[in-house]
Amino acid sequence: MKNNITTITWILSLIFLFLTAHELVSDSLTGGNSYLKPNANYALIYLITSIGFAIVTKLDISISIQFIRVAGIIYMLLSFMGFMEMNIRMDEEWDAIVNFNLTSYVQFGVGIILSILGSNLRNRHLAKVT
């Protein structure tokens, strides 16, 4: 079980490292026409998450599982903060609304996936322990 969780946390670390690189260089690659607008703040959050996942691969299984679950909650909270900071008027065009919302929806989805993954791994771990 430890090897599976270690592999999962390494994969998550690499995914968040890729997201960091995407946030830093995506605007230059897409010519500024990307729906997911790059944001240095998100790049820093993704980098911290990636480093966190890399660190917990060396720790106990229960700590790794708990970190996955907490990361999911943090990303859901970040998406709610993104939704609350929007100031959308009814006369704005649909593309502007999608641009403002898409990053928050993606982060909310990441939070849900991490929370479900962490809960599933926790249940499997508890079933093997007992």
pTM, two decimal places: 0.75
Give the pLDDT confidence of 92-108 residue by residue, as tens digits: 666 666 666 677 788 88
Q: What is the per-residue burial (b if ≥16 Cβ within 10 Å, else e) of 76-107?
A: bebbeebeeeeeeeeeeeeeeeeebbebbebb
Number of domains within the chain: 1
Give the pLDDT confidence of 57-71 residue by residue, as tens digits: 888 888 888 999 999
Better pLDDT: 123 or 82: 123
| Average pLDDT of the chain to the nearest whole number | 79
Containing structural domain, residue 39: 2-129
pLDDT of residue 24: 78
Better pLDDT: 39 or 92: 39
pLDDT of residue 82: 76
pLDDT of residue 51: 93
**Rounded-to-integer distance, Cα 103 and Cα 43, Å:** 12
